[in-house]
Chains A and B, each alone.
Chain A
Amino acid sequence: MTKQFLLDGQPVPFEDGQTVLEAARAAGHYIPSLCWHKDFPPHGSCKLCVVKAAGRHVSACATPAKEGWEVESNTPEINGERRGLLQMLLVEGNHFCPSCEKSGDCELQALGYEYEVLTPRFRHFFPDRPVDASHPDVLLDFNRCIFCELCVRASRDIDGKSVFALTGRGIDKHLVVNAESGRLADTDFAKTDRAANICPVGVILHKRVGFAVPIGERTFDLATISEKTLKEGSS
């Protein structure tokens, strides 16, 4: 007999080794995430997937599903916490959607809409990190980094180049390029690298193609992030 747990009162079947997030999405229940990616081990840093299981907050992406658990996810309490996390991410960087070429394709923006983050709540940090335009094909705008480390992991684990790293601690944490000069041009980075095509926000951008896709045809013009995620999970 298939094992199952209850997610917001609905039975969710799972197989041994599946996490709460994987099992939930496979069963058609959306749990949000920014740092999780199916091709990498769980990272557990963005905390958007946090659910309440057996009365405790746990990261759904990193927690194996357990028979008989009662898990709360799509509740006012948990969604309120997710909204708060998004509001903090949105003020830590310079997320000026109106002039950002990632607008419409940005997962942070899409989650902002999904969780109804419609007004600023916290004071903006307004970081002032210089963009790196040294590479002929790729532009880096460090002011939008959300520290998901997908580029760090992709470059290290798939591309075998280790082009990116996070440095600094706490509030001073930031993304750097792993070159003595700190410039992307001085690495062997290529626009075909997995790391060049995995950023969920607008940090790693292919040059000269911004705004080529018209409004109405961008990723999240066609489907909300929950619709898109579940559709991809079932295909």
Chain B
Amino acid sequence: MSFELETATNRESLRRVAIDPVSRVEGHGKVTLLLDEAGHVKEARLHIVEFRGFEKFIQGRPYWEVPVMVQRLCGICPVSHHLAAAKALDPVVGAVPITATAEKIRRLMHYGQILQSHALHFFHLSSPDLLFGFESPVQQRNIVGVAGAYPEVARQGVLLRKFGQEVIRITAGKRVHGTGAVPGGVNKSLTPAERDELLQDADQMIQWSRDAVHLARRLHETNGSLYDEFGLFRSHLFSLVRADGAMDLYDGHLRLRDARGQIVRDDLACDDYDSFIREEVKSWSYMKFPYITELGPARGWYKVGPLARVQNCDFIPSTLAEIERQAFIAHGDGEPIHAPLAYHWARMIEMLHAAEVIRSLLDDPDILSGNRMAEGPRGREGVGIIEAPRGTLIHHYRVGDDDLVSYCNLIVSTTHNNQAMNEAVRQVARRYLDGRQLTEGLLNHIEVAIRAFDPCLSCATHALGKMPLAVELLDAGGALLDHASTGG
């Protein structure tokens, strides 16, 4: 099926504008716009142009290698893949449930990951747009520019991320691509010295995270016409929640709310995900388009990630973040907030929650215990679902009697948001670009909308902030009319 502005008619006679690659996001993607002679947008698509093939080459590998191998999908959120894979493989070694120590150390690792990834996204990738404006001079619109104009904000962003990375290092052995989670548990506990090292800074991180929530909140309160309307579209909201409805980013059941905020599916068991999620393939993108099976591809698509999670849960089980969640919900005035830029606000609320969870876990004696591993009757299949920084992440494996993986299915966070991001791009194209002379600043509006979702376009490792943005304007015959480039 096709959505409005997804596929134009008479495509051969339209001008094509490509934003390739999209910058300040993780991975490689591009946006193409097709314009008629008057400059009206007839088609807008976000394409994912990389092909990875992890699901195929993980087959035939021993299962215990999987959590370490699949995390190489990503350089920003490898912990999410690492943990989702370990969770999926726990039933294979009969570790149902894992020990309290293992779960708490995995949670510590995961919330460290949420904290560092959210800090990276907000401060390093998005704050230049938010603090300077979408059409501000491109020379300034980067983290170095932020460090010059707002040194304290930049410093806190860097140190928040560093703290999250230290939590990961202490639980996984390395800041990036560690080995802490293994099927059945974890391979190390914390020493008292490691716990004390993290405790030194934990309270400061809560304070800075709270400041960051307020910074994001002020953007909506002082410039609501932009922040509450930019790229606005409505959709279902999808995420894990805890059994009691609380926010839980490590485990739980799946819940779907409709665009008006009504819970339409609840208590969906993770193991049954493939009975209620389908994926549609489109010829123009390597990324599939998931939807809720019963609702179909036209109505069944949804948003995942912070904006969905903060509104899908009934409450956040930490004091300060719950206060901020209530302020967020109040801003919606009885309606769910669907504005893409509100992702940033919700993301900072989650960062605060992560800082509080870390602080609380550090007081738990279980993280020092040596009771790290569980085992039981051997299983042949497992599903691991986790709320990664960017949204719901699904790993599913089958393992043969010879210990080799025979089947692998991964649905990564950004894939769930595929249709949502395309809708945001189309909304922005309609509102800001239609019929106008295209400039770098106008095209950045498209990227601002994509960035709000914090997409990990390839779930791959790439250097940040070094990706050039090249825009070419071609006439209907393919001749180059205009060219602009930045960065690189």
Which A residues fall within an 8 A CB radius of B?
98-101, 130-131, 133-134, 139, 205, 207-217
Contacts and interface: CB of A to CB of B under 8 A. Distances in A.
A216 B402 contact: no
Given A99-B69, A101-B65, A131 B404 contact: yes
Contacts of A213: 187
Closest 6 CB pairs of A and B: A215-B173, A99-B69, A214-B188, A133-B402, A210-B64, A214-B187
Interface of B: 60-62, 64-65, 67-69, 72, 93, 172-174, 177-180, 182, 187-188, 400, 402-404
B177 A98 contact: yes
B187 A210 contact: no
Given A99-B65, A139-B62, A211 B179 contact: yes
The A contact surface, by secondary structure, is: loop
Contacts of A130: 60
A150 B174 CA distance: 32
Given A99-B72, A101-B65, A207-B62, A214 B180 contact: yes
Nearest to B400: A133
Given A139-B403, A208-B403, A215 B178 contact: yes
A11 B378 CA distance: 59
A211 B404 contact: no
A135 to B, nearest CB: 9
Contacts of A209: 64
B101 to A, nearest CB: 14
Contacts of A207: 62, 64, 403
A217 B64 CA distance: 19
Nearest to A185: B402
Contacts of A211: 64-65, 67-68, 179, 182, 187
Given A98-B72, A99-B69, A207-B403, A215 B174 contact: yes
A98 B74 CA distance: 13
Contacts of A205: 62
Given A210-B65, A213-B187, A214-B187, A131 B179 contact: no
A108 to B, nearest CB: 18
Contacts of A133: 62, 400, 402-404
B75 to A, nearest CB: 12
A146 to B, nearest CB: 20
14 contacts: A98-B177, A131-B60, A133-B400, A133-B404, A134-B402, A205-B62, A208-B64, A208-B403, A211-B68, A212-B182, A212-B187, A213-B187, A214-B188, A215-B178
B62 to A, nearest CB: 6
B68 A99 contact: yes
Contacts of B179: 211, 214-215
B448 to A, nearest CB: 34
B178 to A, nearest CB: 6
Contact of A214 (B61, B173, B403): B173
Contacts of B60: 130-131
B88 to A, nearest CB: 15
A133 B179 CA distance: 23
Q: Tell which of A99, A130, A133 has the most Cβ of chain B within 10 Å.
A: A99
Nearest to A132: B402
Interface centre among B67, B72, B179 (most CB of A within 10 A): B179
Contacts of B403: 133, 139, 207-208
A99 B173 CA distance: 14
Contacts of B93: 208
Nearest to A100: B65
